[in-house]
Amino acid sequence: MSSTKIQVRGQPLPRILTRNHRMINSVLCGVPIKRHHRVSNALRTIDPPLGSVPTRTDESLFFRGDGNGRFGRFGGKFVPETLMSPLRDIEDEFNFVLSDHEFQEELTTALRDYVGRETPLYFARRLTEHYRNISQTTGGGPEIYLKREDLSHSGSHKINNALAQAMIARRLGCSRVVAATGAGQHGVATAAACAKLSLECTVFMGSTDIEKQSSNVLSMKLLGAQVKSVKGTFKEASSEAIRNWVGNLDTTYYLSGTVVGPHPSPLMVREFQSVIGKETRRQANQLWGGKPDVLVACIGSGSNALGLFHEFVGDEDVRLVGVEAAGLGLDSGKHSATLAVGDVGVYHGSMSYLLQDDQGQILKPHSVGVGLEYPGVGPEISFLKETGRAEFYTATDEEAIQACMLLSKLEGIIPALEASHALAFLDKLVPTLRDGAKVVVNCSGRGDKDLDTLIQRVMPSSLC
């Protein structure tokens, strides 16, 4: 590394950010690396100025953004003027409840008694032994732990955020909540939270996803939600949910399930999911008296990954590894690997990495894990990529299916196909690690919803 001291407005950058001088200037000062000025076929924008560039020398603070939803050049509020006031109201309420004792006490109680937190940090002994055997290591090999978000009420991590935001919707006087869902996990979580809090719930879901996730559709309806079909997949459902919200601002709250969209949505989702990482730190210290060495999570748009990662962004000795969906292969065009092959643009209200063509038109994503089928990632995930703080890799449909089957047979745990992408990367990761290294994989959801897909994709003989 060069010894040249890089400064922004008189302040030195954190050491971890000085690895690539030209890249850092681009990230912090808004100089385009590559077509970042393109605005995709989304809502055209009125966006406030970028504001001051963060110059904190504390790395953990630096990676938490500028406090206004900006992570370097990523984030923002690229929305029509009519949405600026509702978004400010939501932001004000969000900032208030973060330190409001009554809200926090109610949320903590609900997460414990209703959601079932804290979720276990489970030592996957047989999975650990499996990799020890195939690696033919003479030592003990790495130890693999699962953060069991699949044990949360409604079957995934999505309930953490859905419950908290539904509470905010109630505080704002909204009687109705709208949401969009892909695999259905966010839809089920939102429907459950709305039932608990006596709020009307409408969930928009892509027609192709409805066919694949019939059990979750039934669950949403049983929980009292109205499920509206939208031709396409999650990205079309998201657009329709936002349009519905814009047309009913007086009574309706848009409950985002992932870390995308205009500020403060990404920040809210990350904050309410960060309980995953906070518990992981505490549990790791109890189990082995230290921190994890590697954290692994699948990447769709980023909520479960940031939920695990955020607590550790300031710990340079903890590797953060995200695994995207390579689908049928990166060369096939049928994948959801935004960070691997995407470019920077604006979609659904914020700037981030996107899957788009040379004209800035959004490309259709694909993954066997329906919840990973989104053509973008959150601004904070985009920032972690550009600064090099997190590592990002890919796993194909077939690799995810095989990982799902392996965990099911070895540990008696059927993971969601989304989480199976993270598990699939262990094949490449484990042989590179030292003996005794502690690896935590976020098992972000359970695989009940994917049984039909597994039956169709796997030969019956393989299941015997």
* Structure-derived torsion over alpha carbons of residues 362, 325, 369, 353, reported in degrees to the nearest 10: -40
Domains of the chain (ranges; CATH) run: 81-113+157-269 (3.40.50.1100)
Can you tell me the mean pLDDT for 375-393?
97
Give the pLDDT confidence score for residue 65 in this predicted structure: 79
Residue labelled with tokens 């990761």: 429
Can you tell me the mean pLDDT for 433-453?
95
d(CA 452, CA 215): 10
Rounded to two decimals, what is the model's pTM? 0.86
Q: In the Cβ-directed half-sphere of 219, how many Cα atoms lie within 13 Å?
A: 21
pLDDT at 374 over 80: yes
pLDDT tens digit sequence for 222-268 = 999 999 999 998 889 999 999 999 999 999 999 999 999 999 999 99
Mean pLDDT (the chain) is: 87
Closest CA to 292 of 313, 317, 323: 317
d(CA 124, CA 14): 36
Give the SS3 label for residue 393.
strand
pLDDT at 41 over 50: no
Q: What Å distances lie between residue 432 and 127, 131, 429, 442, CA to CA?
A: 16, 11, 6, 20
Radius of gyration of the chain (CA): 21
Give the pLDDT confidence score for residue 463 in this predicted structure: 57
pLDDT at 2 over 50: no
Can you tell me the mean pLDDT for 394-422?
98
Supply the DSSP string of 103-153, one letter for each residue: HHHHHHHHIIIII-PSPPEEE-HHHHHHHHHHHT-SS---EEEEEEGGGST
Give the pLDDT confidence score for residue 64 in this predicted structure: 73
Two tokens, residue 170: 């109630």
Give the pLDDT confidence score for residue 100 in this predicted structure: 97
pLDDT at 44 over 50: no
Two tokens, residue 107: 């949320």
Neighbours of 49 (CB within 10 A): 6
pLDDT at 11 over 70: no
